[in-house]
């Protein structure tokens, strides 16, 4: 999952330190008592407002607490070798309020994991593409992105277009073979998703954002670095109908934390990343999810997203 563009509501702030009792109790004026009562009421209203805001989060708040409580089922352990694992779940109502595209818009919803699409050698080659591209920049916080389609690259606390910013230097970073491998992997992932959900791959369109992510334990500097908040892809990125992630590093070997978590009512379903593993799912609220904070090391992945609406489609990246 990608770095998030909006932070989750923050917890209540601590109140200021209460003043000690006046040594000359009689010197307390009624104005002082009034101010104290007013401040007390303000603190109460502030706390009540924050609590009601949290309650308004409903499913997100409840699910987040469940995640922290650690009620977890592991769907895919790092050491597993999964040919194909698919779990069908009921579709949310998200798709009822949008234009339907026959043969593509989800009627069957779920989530899948496979280790049979990308080889270890291919995953290593793709990771090197990410490493070379991100070596040109990187966030000051713990989450950096590289989007070969739009050219977006994290740089400090901002983003730049690497194709414009670095110009001809790009030819020394990437090759035609890199981009050909990227396109081939994207096509294989697309075909697997289509097969799992019983739709035509020709009816699916790559959409934005599709990007590499690099996450480490550096403290977040902006909201773009706060990747760990629970979210729904179709809410965060309106064009998404199907989401996939290709992991490029290994949980507990290359990094700690950083597991992918589906947040279901009553429990969580967790995927432990390993290089070459692909997870995919329908993008509606039936698949609320988050990524654990990375505690050590560096986690690499690609988010590859698809839409059913051709108006939201994008082309494969082309080396300038």
SS3 of residue 297 by DSSP = strand
Helix-strand-coil split of the chain, %, nearest 5? 35, 25, 40
Choosing from 186, 192, 214, 299, which is the catalytic residue? 299
Cα 42 off chain centre by: 36
188 catalytic per annotation: no
| Residue 255, C-beta contacts closer than 8 angstroms, at least 6 positions apart | 215, 216, 249, 294, 295, 296, 297, 298, 299
Output the DSSP codes for 23-60.
SSGGG--HHHHHHHHHHHHHHHHHHHHHHHHHHHTTHH
Say how far apart CA 190 and CA 184 lie, in whole Å: 10
- Token look-up 């209460």 returns 18
Half-sphere exposure of residue 80, counting CA atoms within 13 Å on the CB side? 17
Q: Which helix (H) or strand (E) holds 107?
A: none
Say how far apart CA 104 and CA 125 lie, in whole Å: 31
Q: Copy the structure tokens of residue 202.
A: 């020709």
Which residues are designated catalytic?
299
């Amino acid at each position: 999952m990608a770095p998030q563009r909006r932070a989750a509501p923050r917890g209540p702030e601590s109140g200021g330190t209460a003043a000690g009792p006046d040594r000359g109790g009689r010197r307390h004026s009624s104005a002082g008592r009034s101010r104290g009562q007013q401040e007390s009421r303000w603190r109460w209203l502030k706390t009540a407002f924050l609590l009601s805001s949290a309650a308004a989060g409903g499913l997100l708040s409840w699910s987040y607490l469940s995640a922290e409580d650690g009620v977890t089922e592991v769907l895919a352990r790092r050491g597993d070798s999964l040919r194909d694992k698919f779990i069908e779940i009921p579709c949310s109502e998200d798709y009822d309020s949008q234009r339907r595209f026959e043969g593509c818009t989800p009627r069957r919803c779920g989530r899948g994991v496979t280790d049979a699409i990308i080889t270890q050698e291919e995953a290593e080659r793709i990771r090197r593409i990410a490493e070379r591209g991100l070596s040109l920049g990187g966030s000051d916080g713990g989450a950096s992105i590289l989007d070969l389609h739009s050219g977006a690259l994290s740089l400090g606390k901002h983003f730049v277009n690497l194709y414009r910013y670095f110009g001809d230097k790009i030819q020394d970073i990437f090759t035609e073979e890199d981009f050909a491998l990227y396109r081939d992997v994207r096509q294989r992932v697309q075909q697997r998703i289509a097969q799992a959900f019983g739709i035509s791959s020709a009816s699916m369109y790559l959409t934005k954002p599709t990007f590499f992510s690099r996450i480490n334990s550096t403290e977040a500097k902006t909201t773009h670095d706060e990747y760990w908040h629970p979210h729904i892809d179709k809410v965060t990125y309106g064009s998404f109908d199907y989401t996939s992630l290709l992991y490029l590093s290994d949980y507990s070997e290359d990094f700690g934390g950083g597991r992918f978590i589906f947040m279901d009512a009553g429990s969580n379903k967790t995927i432990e990343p390993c290089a070459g593993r692909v997870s995919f799912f329908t993008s509606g609220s039936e698949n609320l999810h988050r990524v654990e904070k990375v505690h050590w090391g560096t986690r690499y992945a690609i988010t590859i997203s698809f839409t059913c609406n051709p108006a939201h489609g994008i082309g494969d990246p082309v080396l300038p």
